Structure 1
Amino acid sequence: MFKKFSKDDIHSRSNIKSSVQRGLKTNFVNSYPDLSNAIDNIIPKKSQVILIKCEDKIQLYSVNNSNATNQDDHEDDDNNNEIVLIQHFTDIIPTLRTVHKYPELFPRVQVDRGAIKFVMSGANIMCPGLTSKGGQLPEDNLPVDTIVTVYAEGKENALAIGKLVMSVDDIKNKNKGIGIELLHYLGDGLWNHRE
């Protein structure tokens, strides 16, 4: 989704109203119920949220995370904005920066070491990378279209975010084909984008 993302893919930026911001926070928590205690840290009540409309019906939401009280403390307000979530049609997706701050709040899978180079080049994740000795899937069955964070064997932080193409049970039972469609990964255009 963001393999070749650049500033050219951005169509417009606009501040959103506080009522829209409240609705956005509610939708984010509805998608990831474990976020309920952290949502006011991710999107603080008094912060300004910016909607960034992009190609392919992608919407990014950026939050001004500047704590500077004096305008002289920072030359460019845009550098203090952090994209915290992505909306693509009805999918609400955290960015990797959000996941790195709150790793325990999102559904998680793990790929084996052999899959790392493929994930880091933007490839979708094949079932054997999730079911092999170094891979891990949740005990509970997650349905198709669930957004998951992708970790790698031996690594502490998430390296990608993806969407299940088949349920966790089907990944375990079929063990072939694409299991996760990759949406966002370390080093992609969104990761390297600065507001």
Structure 2
Amino acid sequence: MEVKSRHYLSAKDVKKFNQEIVKLYPHLEGSVELKNSTVEVITLTENIKLYIVDNKLDWIMIKDRLIPSVSLLNRGLEIPFIKVDMGAIPFIAKGADVMRPGIVDASDKISRGSIVKIIDEKYSKTIAVGESLINYEEFKVKKQGKAVKVLHHVGDKLWSLAGSLNIKQ
């Protein structure tokens, strides 16, 4: 994974980016305001873009899908959650998808295809971001199989690259 280009968004483009976030995550309207922020876009190989807001990795575009970073979620941004038991954490921290048996709780706002944060049961810290493969109703009855496809996790290549570029986590 290499940096292809870096540039700052103009004020007009920052406004458009903010509107895109609210369009994708309507419940964030009013809580995400980038008007007076500096937004840098780092384009990487592998069809990935990092959105650095005020020198913090906040948003990641993976194959045209915009997701919040683990660090942004740990700073208080709220999206639906999946809570996993402590035994699942080492596997998720290595990039494994979340399996249904490791889930101890989930937000009732989860739908198939929605972006969710994966939190640990002890400290409620976000350890990964993923795409839900089941909805809340399925979560209540399903006991086996994959539940969340992990897209970004603590310690992954994006996390490490941000650190090497002196971007705050």
Q: TM-score by structure 1 length? A: 0.76
Q: For residue 114 of structure 1, what is the aligned residue in structure 2?
A: 87
* CA–CA separation in structure 2 for the residues paired with 1:145 and 1:57: 20
TM-score if structure 2 supplies the norm length? 0.86
Larger radius of gyration: 1
Q: State the distance in 2 between where 1:152 and 1:32 align.
A: 23
Mark the runs of 5 or more structure 2 residues left unpaired by the alignment: none
Change in 2 beyond 3 A, CA 1:138/1:46: closer
The percentage of aligned residue pairs carrying the same residue is 27
- Which residue of the other structure, out of 111, 118, 122, is the alignment partner of 1:150? 118
- Could you say which residue in structure 2 is the equivalent of 1:29? 22
Q: 1:108 Cα shift?
A: 1.0
- The 2-side partners of 1:9 and 1:164 are apart by 28
How far apart are 1:54 and its partner, in Å? 1.3
RMSD of aligned residue pairs (Cα, Å) = 1.8
Cα shift at 1:24: 0.9
Shift of 1:181: 0.7
**Structure with more helix by fraction:** 1
Matching residue's letter, 1:20: D
| Structure 2 Cα separation of the partners of residues 88 and 139 of structure 1 | 26
Q: Does the alignment pair 1:55 with 2:45? A: yes
Q: Which structure carries more strand by proportion?
A: 2
Matches within 5 A, 1:1-195: 8-40=1-33, 43=34, 45-63=35-53, 65=54, 81-103=55-77, 105-130=78-103, 135-140=104-109, 142-192=110-160, 193-194=162-163, 195=165
Q: How many positions carry a matched residue from both structures?
A: 163
CA contact (8 A) 2:82 2:116 kept: yes
Deviations 1:134-193 (A, max 9, x none): x101234x2221100111111231111111122232233332221101111112222232
- Name stretches of at least 5 consecutive residues in structure 1 with no aligned partner: 1-7, 66-80
Contact in 1 for aligned 2:83/2:124 (Cα 8 Å): no
User: Which SS does the other structure have where 1:145 is aligned?
Assistant: coil
Q: Secondary structure at the match of 1:25?
A: helix
Asked whether the equivalents of residues 101 and 143 of structure 2 are also in contact (C-alpha less than 8 Å), the reply is yes
